[in-house]
Amino acid sequence: MHLLDVDYARSQFPALKTGFIYGGSQVAVNVADRIYEYLLHHNVQFGADYSVSVESTRRVMEDAPEAAMKLFNAQSRDEIVFGASSTINLENLARGMDGAIQTGDEFIITREHEANAGPWKRLALRRGAVVKYWTPTPINPNNPYSVVYKVEELLPLITAKTRILAFTACSNILGTILPIKDIVQAVRTAAKEKGTKKLEISVDCVAYAPHRRIDVRDWDIDFCVFSFYKVYGPHISALYVRLSSLHDSVAAITHHFLKVDKKSYKLQPGGPGYELVYGTTGVLPYLLSLTPENDLQASFDAIAAHEQKLVQPLLAFLTAPKQIERGVRIVGAENAGVTRVPTISFIVVGERATKSSDIVKVFDKKGGIGIRFGHFYAYSLIDELEPKIDVDDGVVRISLVHYNTVEEVERIIEILKEALE
C-alpha cells in the first residue's frame, strides 16, 4: 500500500495556503475550475440542438452521473439522483415512496443526523407506518457516553412488517464506521426468517464518504446518499436508488408530462444547479490522483492509513487519566483503529463541568482553527444521551480529513490543554 502524499493533497486546496486549520473538507481546485469553466462557457438550458446546449447536456446528464456512479459503485448512472442537499434528496425519495407504504408498515431508524431520520418519520406519519429506533448503547461502563450501535440490538426489532431500515454508515457525532455489509446480511436473513415481504435499506454515507469507499452493490442496499461538499466538491448531494426500487417503489415527483418513469430524474423536481452538478466530476479525478495505481480503493486505503495518524494522538490525549479526572468524556468509541474516523466528539462533565461552547471560545480567541460545538443536526442522538446534557450546547467536535497533518493535531492538543486547565 502506498503512503498518502499529504503535501500533494494539500496543494490541491488553495484555502489551505492561509495556514488556517479547517474543521472539515474544502473544495479541490479542479472542482472549482470546472464550475468556473461551465458558468463562463456552457451556461445554457438543456435539450436544444445547438452545439453549446448539446455539450452542456452531456456534461450534466451523462458525465456527472457517470462519475457519481463510480463513487457509489452503482450499476447504472440511471440510479443516480442529484439534489441540493442530502436532506432534500432523502425527503424527495420519501415523497416518491408515498404510494409504496401501507398502514402498519414498520420503519427502523437511528437517531442520527436528521437528514436520514426526518424524511422517514414524516413518511411514516403520512402513511400510518410505525417507527422503531435502533439505539446505541455504552461499551465502557465508566463512560455512559461511549455509545455504539450493536447489530444484536437491531435484529430483535425486525418483524414480518418491517419495511424500511435507515441508518448511518458512520455517525457525524460518534465517528465509528459500522460493518455495513455484515449488518445488511444479518438483517436480510432475519427478515426472511420472519416472513418480511419487502425490506428496503437506506444508508446515510455523508460522514463516511470522506474516509472510506462506498460500495452499494457489495453492501446490497437500496438507497444511499452522500454530500459532495464532504468529499472536496461543491455543496450538492448525490443519491443512489437501486434500479428495482426506482421502478417498483418510487413514483415520479416531477411535472406530470415528463416521461421519467424509469429514470432517476423522476426524483429531481426542477433539477439542481447545473454548474454544481458538473463540478462534481472533479472529485473522482482528485481521489484517483492520490495514489500511483489510479485506483479508488487504493486511494481510500491510503486515506484511512494517514487518518489513523491523526486519530491516535488526539484520542490518546482526551482519554488520558488526567483528562478523565478533569471530566472529559468521549461521545462514542474511545479507541482508535480502522473503524474510527477522525471525527471526535467530547463533553466535559463532573465537578468542573465546562460548556462545550466555552471550550470552543478558547479556540476562537486563539484563531486559526475551525472547531465547533452543538448537536450538528444529530439532535435526537444528543438529546437521548444519558445522563442528560444540554442539547443546544451539545458536544465539542473536532473533524479532520486526510489533508490535515500531525502537526495540526499537535496544535489542537496544545489549545485543548489550555481550554481544560
Q: What is the pLDDT of residues 187-242, one digit of tens each?
A: 999 999 999 999 999 999 999 999 999 999 999 999 999 999 999 999 999 999 99
Q: What is the mean pLDDT of the chain?
A: 96
Q: Looking at the predicted structure, is the pLDDT value of residue 295 above 80?
A: yes
Q: Is residue 162 part of a domain?
A: yes
Of 245, 266, 286, which residue constitutes the final position of a domain?
A: 286
Please check whether residues 327 and 348 belong to one and the same domain. yes
Of 286, 311, 339, which residue constitutes the final position of a domain?
A: 286
Kindly report, residue by residue over 365-378, the tens digit of the pLDDT.
999 999 999 999 99
Q: Is residue 62 part of a domain?
A: yes
pLDDT value for 270: 83
Q: What average pLDDT score do residues 23-51 get?
A: 93
pLDDT value for 262: 67
Helix axes 406-419, 296-318, angle to 10 degrees: 30
At 40, list the grid cell.
463562463
Check: CB of residue 217 under 8 Å from CB of residue 74: yes
Kindly report, residue by residue over 50-74, the tens digit of the pLDDT.
999 999 989 989 999 999 999 999 9
Q: Is residue 249 part of a domain?
A: yes
Please check whether residues 281 and 311 belong to one and the same domain. no
Please check whether residues 200 and 168 belong to one and the same domain. yes
Domain hosting 236: range is 51-286
Provide φ and ψ at 284, rounded to 5°: -60, -45
Q: What average pLDDT score do residues 112-128 get?
A: 96
What is the C-alpha to C-alpha distance for residues 42 and 18, in angstroms, rounded to an integer?
A: 32
Please check whether residues 346 and 310 belong to one and the same domain. yes
pLDDT value for 246: 95
Q: Is residue 14 part of a domain?
A: no
C-alpha distances (whole Å) from 243 to each of 18, 64, 239 are 45, 18, 12
Of 286, 318, 344, which residue constitutes the final position of a domain?
A: 286
What CATH code is carried by the domain that includes residue 148? 3.40.640.10
Beta-bridge mates of residue 354 = 348
Please check whether residues 199 and 130 belong to one and the same domain. yes
| Domains in the chain, number | 2
Please check whether residues 326 and 238 belong to one and the same domain. no
pTM of this structure: 0.96
Q: Looking at the predicted structure, is the pLDDT value of residue 27 above 80?
A: yes
Kindly report, residue by residue over 371-398, the tens digit of the pLDDT.
999 999 999 999 999 999 999 999 999 9
Please check whether residues 102 and 225 belong to one and the same domain. yes
Beta-bridge mates of residue 224 = 203, 240
Q: Is residue 306 part of a domain?
A: yes
What is the C-alpha to C-alpha distance for residues 247 and 253, in angstroms, rounded to an integer?
A: 13
Q: Is residue 342 part of a domain?
A: yes
Q: What average pLDDT score do residues 264-285 get?
A: 93
Please check whether residues 73 and 182 belong to one and the same domain. yes
What is the C-alpha to C-alpha distance for residues 415 and 408, in angstroms, rounded to an integer?
A: 11
Q: What average pLDDT score do residues 247-272 get?
A: 87
Please check whether residues 94 and 124 belong to one and the same domain. yes
Beta-bridge mates of residue 138 = 147
Please check whether residues 215 and 315 belong to one and the same domain. no
Q: Is residue 29 part of a domain?
A: no
What CATH code is carried by the domain that includes residue 413? 3.90.1150.10
Q: Looking at the predicted structure, is the pLDDT value of residue 128 above 70?
A: yes
Beta-bridge mates of residue 82 = 238
Nearest to 46, CA basis, from 417, 38, 212: 38
Q: Looking at the predicted structure, is the pLDDT value of residue 148 above 80?
A: yes
The distance in angstroms from the start CA to the end CA of the chain is: 41
Please check whether residues 236 and 362 belong to one and the same domain. no
CB atoms closer than 10 angstroms to residue 351: 6
Q: Looking at the predicted structure, is the pLDDT value of residue 1 above 90?
A: no
Q: Is residue 262 part of a domain?
A: yes
Q: Looking at the predicted structure, is the pLDDT value of residue 145 above 80?
A: yes
Please check whether residues 214 and 312 belong to one and the same domain. no
